[in-house]
Structure formats: C-alpha cells, structure tokens
Chains A and B, each alone.
Chain A
Amino acid sequence: MSDTHSQSAFVRSEILPEAPPPVRERGIVKWFRENLFSSVANTILTLAAIWAVYYLITATGPWLLNGVWTTSSLSECRDVLDGRTGACFSVLAERWNQLIFGFKYPDELYWRPGLAFVLLFVALAPLLFAKVFPRKLLVLTAIYPFLAFYLIWGGTIMVPVFALLGFVVGFFVYKRLVLQSASMGLLGAVVSALVFWYVTGFLTGYMSNFLALEPVPSRDMGGFMLNMMLGVICVSLSLPIGILLALGRQSTMPIIKWISVVFIEFIRGVPLITLLFVANVVLAYFLPPESSLDLILRVIIMITMFASAYIAEVIRGGLAALPPGQYEAADSLGLDYAQSMQLVILPQALKISIPGIVNVSVGLFKDTTLVSVISMFDLVGMIRGPILGAAEWNGVYWELFGFAALLFFIVCYSISQYSQWLERQLRTDHA
C-alpha cells in the first residue's frame, strides 16, 4: 500500500476551493436563459414583448411627460404644446372636483364625503381583517352606514339615529322570537323596525334642526362619489338579501321557495339597463310628480335587487357544494335551523363563495357607470355630458377616460387582491 503511495507523482493534500459555476449557469445570465430565452419560441415571444413595451413607452411617454396642467381650455393646451405630442391634463386640474363629487355638490362641503370615504376604511377594517382587530370594533362598522348618511346627505342627526335605533329594536325582537322559529324572528324584526320608524318619522319632523348639517339633496351628487356610493351601498345591501334569497330557494316551505325562485329568475332574466330605465322612466308615471322617492333611491333599489339575485345564485352554489354530512352533523348536534345555518353551514358555504361574490361585486361596481345612460352624472356621465359639452374642453378624450379607468382600476384591483388574501387566510386544508 505504502508502496503505491510513494509512486504517485502528485497527491492532493487539500481540497480545491469551490469554483464558481460557469457564467451560463449563474446570476442574471442564468435567470435570463431560464426565464426569457429558454427555447426558440420563448425567445421570439420575449423579443416581441420587448418591442411591444418599447413601443408603448415611446408612444405614451412623451404624451405623459409633455402633459400640460395649467391652461384653461383645449385650444390653449394646443398653443402651449405648439405641435408637440402631449396630453392636456388641464381638464383634470380644472374639473377634478366635478369628476370626483359631481358638479352640484357645494364645494365648501367636500370635506364631508371626503371624511365619509376615509371613515369607510376605518369601518371596513374590523370586518375585512377580522383576525387582526378585536371583535368589539365591529360596532364601528355597524355605526358607519348611518354616520356616512349623515355626512353625505346632511340634515338632522335624528334621522340616522332613529334609523339605527330601528335596527337595534329589530335585532332585539329577532333575538327574542328566534327561539321559537327563525322565520317568526325575521318577520317580527322587520315589523317592529317598520313600526318604530313610522312612529319616529313624526318626531324627526319636529326636530329637523337638531344637530343638523346643511342638507344636500341626492340629485346634487355625482362623479366618482356617486359610483362609490352606489357600489358600496348596493354590494353591502345585496349580500344579506342574497343570503336570505339563497336560503329561501333551498327552503322546504313552498311559498318562500317560490317567491325566491321567481324573484331570482325574473331579475336574472332582465338586463340591468332595463331595470334602470324602469327606475327612471316608468316609475315616474306611477309616482306623483312631487313624490319624495328620489332618483338615487330608486336606482339603489334596482341595482340592489339585481345584485342580490346574482349573489343569491353564487351562494346557492356554495351551499350546494357542502357535503350533506355537514347538514346532518349540525342536526345531530341538536342545533335548530337558525343555529345550524349561522354556526355550521353559512361559514363554510360563504368561504366557498368568496371568488364568486367578489366577481359579482367588481362587476357591479363597474356597472354603476350605466346610470350615466339615465342622465345621472356619475364619473362617466360627468365626462360624457357636462365636461365634453363645455366649449373649452370639447375634444379631450384620452385624458378624461384614462383618469376614469385609473380610478376604477385602483378600486377593482384592491378588491380582487383583498379577496385573494382572504382566501389564503381562510384556507384550512393545509395544502
């Protein structure tokens, strides 16, 4: 052994230092090779994509960078640009308040919808991030709709206060009666709340100046604020109604079942724009001209009905996806209908339905721009009507519609990101 050893010309006595991987297999080159140029087809696609990005940047870059912000009309923009490519953002600078709040909302009161918008996040946080915030903060969420109404519409504080108290009364009646039967509880809650509102309606008449903010009639609202209001109100109203409809459709009681089925199928069979025309045009014939049921309220009712029918079907899908064992398990624990739904069935079914619900909500939020067709000045209505109808801005399209698209994109993208986060949070399968 030692013999062979001594014959060796070279014996390595220490380990070689690690050599770096070849250039092709490391760092940015590797990343490029693997991700961008891994095959001929992918190389072609990469080059095409680079060309497209380059084209987009060279096309929009000067337009954005040369943008003019300070002129007072399109022709002045053109004078300033003097033949160069450039956007005329002056229209946004001059009319931003009309795009956001509509053209009739008093400008000294812009802080009120602004505050309501900020508080929206405060109110949504405990609901959306239930694991982060303590449950008690949900009180804020419950108060928010009434506070927002007070801020946006103004008037005496007694209206939202009594409205809130009506819900509280209804809730307690429900709590008492639900022990006997779920539908009894629901009916009792609705009736007692209606009675409470009817009675207090007389009281608010006498107290119309108590802690009153300057009232703003709803026809003075417009712009993106109107889209947000319609979107938030209709989505949040349609969720509970949709749940009730979905449960009603599964009910064994024939009348409730058929009411739900007819409602859902009728609303789903009619385009939203038709419902909006009914709200605007047909109802005007039936209601007396001085009736107080204003256009926004009619539109809210129609959009809510439309959205609830869709959400009901989404939730029905979630209910159908639950294995029957879950229903049986709830029954075998001795839970009554209301308890089994609240504690066992709905939490699971709603979790399954999240992507569908978000889908409907995002679609609905964008559909709120349809109200521009019935001469309401939402964001798109403001652009198409008053702003393009002004002599100084007639002819500005890309800047205005780009701005509208940006606002809608921000909101819709946030909703979709949140829903994906929520799905990850609620995942229980450890996959």
Chain B
Amino acid sequence: MKQSVFFAAVTAAGLSAGAAAAGTLDDVKARGTLNCGVTTGLVGFAAPNANGEWEGFDVAVCRAVAAAVLSDPTAIEFVPTTGKTRFTALASGEIDMLARNTTWTFTRDVDLKFEFTGVNYYDGQGFMVPKALGVSSAKELDGATVCIQTGTTTELNLADYFRKNNMDYEPVPIETNAESQQQYLAGACDVYTTDRSGLAATRASFETPSDHVILPETISKEPLGPLVRHGDNEWGDLVRWTLNALIAAEELGITSANIEELAKGTNRPEVNRLLGTEGTLGEMLGLDKEWAKRAIMVGGNYGELFAKNIGESTPIGLARGLNAQWTEGGLLYAPPFR
C-alpha cells in the first residue's frame, strides 16, 4: 500500500514536471517573473551596474521578452551562469531562457537538445597584437607565442588556423579572460586571441589602447544568440519573434522616440502589424496586440541597443560590421511579420 502511494506520488511529480516543461509561457505568466540566464559579468553584454541593476546587450533581450510577456521589463529573475553551469541550468528548468553570448553550434542545438532562437550578435575569433610588433596580418604570425583560454572553442580554432596556413605557434594557456589581459600586457605572449568583441573590450580597458591593434582576419564563426529548451515550440517562437521584432524595428525605422507616434497607426502595413494596430500576430503567440511595442519600448530597436551597450560611442567601441541590417551589408535579416 505504502509503496503504491509512493509510486503514485513519483508519477504525479513526473507528470507535473512534464507539464511544466510543456508550458513555459503559462509558467512564466503564473510566476510573474521571467527566469533569464545571463553571464556572471561580461563587459557590454551583461553586468550589474553600481545600483545592482543588470545592464548589457544580452540583458536587453531578456528585458524585451519580459516586457512582451509580462508587460514589465523589470519582472526578471536574472540567474547568473558560468560557462560550465549554463546548459544544466537551462536543461533542468531553473531558467526559462539563456541569453549568455552562447555560440550556436550543431551539437548544442541537436545533441544537447536546445533550440537557438536566432542570433543577436555575429562574433568571430580575432587576434590582438602590440602595434610595436609591426604585424598587419594574421598570416605574419608564424612562430608567435599566443595567449589562449583553455577549454574553449577558440583553442581549437587557433590550432586549425595555424595548421591550415602552415605556421607554428607556441600557446600560453590561460584560465580566465582577466588573467590573459594581465599576461598579454606583461609581455608573456605576443598575441592574444579570443572573440573580437572580447578583444575590443579588453583593448578598451588598456591604458593606451592605441598601442595595440586588432588584426583584420576573423578565423571562426561565432553566432551568439538566445536559446531555450527543446520541446516547447510556443515558447521558442515567442523568444525568436521578440528578437526578430527588435531587428525588424530597426529595419522599419521604429525607434523608442517615434514608436508612440507610429503605434497610432500608419500607412505602412508591416509597421502596423508589428505594433498591433492591424492583424492578430500577438494573439497567435498567446500574447496581446501590443507585445512587440512593449518589447521595443524597453530600450529601443536593435540598433539603439547596440549603440547604447557596445556601439562605437561606448568604451568597447564595436563597429556594426556583420551585425548591420542586410540592407546595409550586414547579416541581420528578420523574416517578415505577416
């Protein structure tokens, strides 16, 4: 008797866990907060400011989703994750989505059973060298000592690149980004390699950034984007289209300054559909008409978020590059809102 009760309890628990996994949107609405996984701190992408509020480019995605679902961009429980804990946190249901500069790769998407819902930053591995070295291309780095973070894909990319170009290098293995900055400045290595956004942030923190150059070559593709669990397509759609809404808003010229004006109705049907004055796109997602308007109003469209957090006017000073709209030679291409 007791045993059967026990088994029944376990089955019930299993069923409710399954149900919970199937309806993330309902869970989030019932809870009233979005559990969003972020990094423990990465310049420009996610870090708490002096008042303890999270800021950054990845954080902006969380805030847009929270605004779309809960009408409140602050109704978020930020769950800081490290490179080692991020995937278990998502898989175990501790977080509803992960926005943590995570590279979209085949194994992560297929084998780890996650669903990448788009790309919010196209990154790639690059090299930084002191200007005094007189190097202008990565092809001239034969025989260099290279500071490299161990256990990352950057390590493998580096080996591939040097082998492909028949060059030798001497790796200086480093544990963390902070350590590698010190090692590089102390002259322990000639070259520092990591994602270009990281190189730019590192270079910006140097006393004399102009003494260092980031070489033009990009040796890997690192599309970074938010991801959710497999198996809850409605929730995946919601995160995907919230990101698309931010990107499309830039393409359509919707900014935080003119959105109130445009939301009264325009003669441009796609703007109207996006902002909810025409059509029923919001209802299809299980939200209301103004979901995208709220998401965009948090911090503006994609371009505004980029400029505010990592753009050329910030200390990090990243150019749009690949992250420009497709109409301007970049890779950002939001599918039509129709």
Residues of A within 8 A of B (CB): 74-75, 78, 94-95, 98, 103-104, 277, 280-282, 284-285, 288-289, 373-375, 377, 381, 384-392, 394-395, 397
Q: Are A281 and B88 in contact (CB under 8 A)?
A: yes
* Interface assignment of B20: CB less than 8 Å from any CB of chain A: yes
In which size bucket is the chain B interface?
35 or more
A373 to B176, CA, bound (A): 12
CB distance from A317 to the nearest CB of B (A): 35
Q: Are B94 and A390 in contact (CB under 8 A)?
A: no
* Interface assignment of B80: CB less than 8 Å from any CB of chain A: yes
The residue that B82 contacts in the complex, of A284, A288, A374, A394, with Cβ under 8 A, is A374
Q: Are B207 and A78 in contact (CB under 8 A)?
A: yes
The residue that A385 contacts in the complex, of B41, B49, B94, with Cβ under 8 A, is B41
Nearest CB in chain B to that of A393: its residue: B205
A389 to B48, CA, bound (A): 8
* Interface assignment of B206: CB less than 8 Å from any CB of chain A: yes
CB distance from B128 to the nearest CB of A (A): 14
The residue that A284 contacts in the complex, of B49, B88, B205, B207, with Cβ under 8 A, is B88
A389 to B178, CA, bound (A): 10
* Interface assignment of B299: CB less than 8 Å from any CB of chain A: no
CB distance from A292 to the nearest CB of B (A): 13
The residue that A394 contacts in the complex, of B89, B94, B182, B204, with Cβ under 8 A, is B204
Nearest CB in chain B to that of A94: its residue: B50
* Interface assignment of B188: CB less than 8 Å from any CB of chain A: no
Residues of B within 8 A of A (CB): 13, 16-17, 20, 39-44, 46-50, 52, 79-82, 84-85, 88-89, 91-94, 176, 178, 181-182, 201-202, 204-207, 314-316
Contacts A284-B92, A375-B81, A395-B205 hold; do A95 and B50 have CB atoms under 8 A apart?
yes
The residue that B314 contacts in the complex, of A103, A282, A375, A391, with Cβ under 8 A, is A391
Q: Are A74 and B85 in contact (CB under 8 A)?
A: no
A392 to B42, CA, bound (A): 12
B44 to chain A: which residues have CB within 8 Å?
391
Given contacts A281-B88, A289-B92, A388-B41, 11 further A-B contacts (CB under 8 A): A75-B315, A103-B52, A277-B84, A281-B85, A377-B40, A386-B41, A386-B48, A389-B46, A390-B47, A391-B47, A394-B204
CB distance from B8 to the nearest CB of A (A): 16
Nearest CB in chain B to that of A286: its residue: B92
A388 to chain B: which residues have CB within 8 Å?
41, 43, 178
A218 to B250, CA, bound (A): 40
B176 to chain A: which residues have CB within 8 Å?
384
Q: Are A284 and B315 in contact (CB under 8 A)?
A: no
CB distance from A59 to the nearest CB of B (A): 15
The residue that A391 contacts in the complex, of B20, B89, B206, B315, with Cβ under 8 A, is B315
- For chain A, what secondary structure do more than half of its interface residues adopt (helix, strand, loop), or is it mixed? helix
Q: Are A395 and B181 in contact (CB under 8 A)?
A: yes
B206 to chain A: which residues have CB within 8 Å?
395
Contacts A375-B80, A388-B41, A391-B316 hold; do A280 and B47 have CB atoms under 8 A apart?
no
Q: Are A385 and B181 in contact (CB under 8 A)?
A: no
Question: Lowest 8 CB-CB distances: which A-B pairs, in order?
Answer: A389-B41, A395-B205, A385-B41, A385-B40, A389-B47, A289-B93, A284-B92, A103-B52
Contacts A384-B176, A385-B41, A385-B47 hold; do A98 and B89 have CB atoms under 8 A apart?
no
A381 to chain B: which residues have CB within 8 Å?
40
The residue that A374 contacts in the complex, of B13, B85, B202, with Cβ under 8 A, is B85
Q: Which among B91, B178, B201 has the greatest number of chain A C-beta atoms within 10 A? A: B178
Q: Could you list some 8 contacts between A and B, CB below 8 A? A: A78-B207, A103-B52, A284-B89, A375-B80, A387-B41, A388-B178, A390-B43, A391-B204
Q: Are A389 and B39 in contact (CB under 8 A)?
A: yes
A172 to B48, CA, bound (A): 49
B81 to chain A: which residues have CB within 8 Å?
375
Nearest CB in chain A to that of B315: its residue: A391
Q: Are B94 and A289 in contact (CB under 8 A)?
A: yes
Nearest CB in chain A to that of B178: its residue: A388
Nearest CB in chain B to that of A83: its residue: B207
A392 to chain B: which residues have CB within 8 Å?
315
Q: Are B85 and A375 in contact (CB under 8 A)?
A: yes
The residue that B17 contacts in the complex, of A78, A284, A288, A386, with Cβ under 8 A, is A288
A385 to chain B: which residues have CB within 8 Å?
39-41, 47, 80
B92 to chain A: which residues have CB within 8 Å?
281, 284-285, 289
B88 to chain A: which residues have CB within 8 Å?
281-282, 284-285
A392 to B13, CA, bound (A): 47
Q: Are A394 and B201 in contact (CB under 8 A)?
A: yes
A289 to B41, CA, bound (A): 24
